[in-house]
Amino acid sequence: MIKNTSLFQVVKSSILVMALTSLILLQGCQDDDDPVLVIPPGDQVASGLYKDGTASLDGGATTASDFIGFVHDNRLMAFSVTSQILIDGTLSIPTGNDFTGSVDVYANGQIFQADVSATGLVTTGSSLSVDLAGTGIASGNITLSFDSLYNRGASFSTIESSLTDITLPPWVGSHYGFESHDSFTLSIDNTGVVYGENITASPFACTYIGDVTIPDNQVNIYMITTRVLEEEPATCTGADDAFTGFSSIVDGVNGTDTVMVHAITNGFFASFFAILER
């Protein structure tokens, strides 16, 4: 039997048109109380560098508007110089916009409360908000804005500095946390070896030695591993303990790539700073 292909196509098209028309009419007649199909957003990504973070903690008794944050491999670190508070912990991979986690909260460079339950919301490339369910300053909310400088990338040439080579001036500025100093210097060679010291206390100073690694040169995150050494008769908090954390290089009043933001912890003590390159 020979099929009439043209007639078959006409009938098929007519059925399709009728079906679409019926769907449009049904949607037009939908009652306002009827459920509406909502397509959920895709899972968001928390990884990033964050700035301009605002916080309301301890029932509003402690507030801040200068939080800086890092998220890499689901590790969150965020600190405020004005409030001397730092949080450090692990976040779940977001489901939609939501995430859960657990953080340690540090105050004035020492652990305040460990394993604080955290929940929050993240929008890729926009914002991250964390609610803390601890007590005192370990309770409340911190909300941060994504910093587009995260996408600038990372390189050893960007962070390279020296205490002796005038063409590679060291990173210099105030250092906060378990050892606070107004005149701290940090040098990093082109292989990532770190050396830092409080120059006002030399030759009896607490010094940092360690390494910087670049986990992904496409993003502005540097991983830091350091330990503290003390030179007699100096007494240094956290001496010989290993600290880990993150750094990023951002812009400042002195120009592009002139400010290093940095945070490290070891479960007992924390250190953080935003220092200028001389």
Q: What is the percent of the chain where pLDDT is above 90? A: 62
Maximal CA-CA distance, the chain:
105
- DSSP H helical ranges for the chain: 5-28, 156-159
For the chain, domain boundaries: 48-146, 152-277
pLDDT band at 254 (very low <50, low <70, confident <90, very high): confident
The pLDDT of residue 20: 42
Structure-token match 């607490």, residue found = 206
The pLDDT of residue 176: 83
The lowest-confidence range among 10-14, 130-134, 146-150, 204-208 is: 10-14
Q: Using the predicted structure, report yes or no on whether residue 9 has a pLDDT greater than 80.
A: no
Q: Using the predicted structure, report yes or no on whether residue 44 has a pLDDT greater than 80.
A: yes
Mean pLDDT of 119-139: 98
The answer to whether residues 93 and 76 touch, using CB atoms and an 8 Å cutoff, is no
Q: What is the percent of the chain where pLDDT is above 70? A: 77
pTM beyond cutoff 0.75: yes
The pLDDT of residue 250: 95
Per 3-state DSSP, the chain is made up of helix, strand and coil in percentages (nearest 5) of 15, 50, 35
The pLDDT of residue 255: 87
Which residues pair with residue 57 across a beta bridge?
62, 140
Mean pLDDT of 5-19: 44
User: Which residue from 257, 265, 264, 266 is spatially nearest to 275, judged by alpha carbons?
Assistant: 257
Mean pLDDT of 145-164: 95
What does residue 100 show for φ and ψ, rounded to 5 degrees? Answer: -125, 170
Return d(Cα 26, Cα 274) in angstroms, integer: 60
The pLDDT of residue 10: 41
The pLDDT of residue 18: 46
The pLDDT of residue 37: 41
**Residue that wins the pLDDT comparison between 200 and 4:** 200
The pLDDT of residue 182: 62
Using CB atoms within 10 A of its CB, is residue 227 exposed (0-12), middle (13-18) or buried (19+)?
Answer: middle
162-212 per-position pLDDT tens digit: 988 989 999 988 878 776 666 788 999 999 999 988 766 555 567 889 999
Mean pLDDT of 57-75: 97
